[in-house]
Copies of this chain bind each other. A is one copy, B any other.
Amino acid sequence: MKAGGAIELGESKSASSTPKIGGVNKGVSILDFILRIIAFLGTLVSAIAMGTTRERLPFFTQFLQFRAEYDDLPTFTFFVVANSVVCAYLVFSLALSIFHIIRSNAKRSRIISIFFDTAMLALLTAGASAAAAIVYLAHKGNAKANWFAICQQFNSFCERISGSLIGSFVGVVVFILLILLSAAALSRR
């Protein structure tokens, strides 16, 4: 990996850009920074909201206590892991974002940023939509497959898991904007 050297190379080659374009790119980089904080908060809240979901029903039999936790369903575990990974990535990417504010004509570091943003977009979308598919099933059930709607019993559990999807989908939209911003900044060098 010679990413560090590559970044420097990108710097020195683009030093002849006009100051006006540098100013626009600085604005884009600041917007990038703000959007990353929004996405960070969204994925953090999603991971915590899903990860702390559990419900115990007030009645139980001798052998069985009725309780629901997020890790009863593997898809929700994947959702929590995906959100946590993206959340951790966003913290590190803030450093790169600050670097872009200071040196607004960087080139290679923006390509690296676009690549990882795209990968994280795919991961976050996968987690969010897989969880959404299961949440839909929990709400509506499916008569053809004989899967019953569990939300009739586990009401607050269902509200919690539905709500925790929101932050994740906000994150998806923000990532699409981030990639667009990076591409625009690259082209304006």
Contacts and interface: CB of A to CB of B under 8 A. Distances in A.
The binding surface of chain A is classed by DSSP as helix
Contacts of A114: 179-180, 183
A28 to B, nearest CB: 12
A166 to B, nearest CB: 15
Most B C-beta atoms less than 10 A away, residue of A130, A176, A179, A182: A130
B144 A111 contact: no
A148 B144 CA distance: 12
Contacts of A72: 142, 144-145
A146 interface: yes
Given A126-B129, A129-B133, A134-B137, 12 more contacts: A68-B144, A107-B187, A110-B183, A114-B183, A115-B176, A118-B121, A118-B176, A129-B130, A130-B132, A137-B147, A147-B148, A186-B187
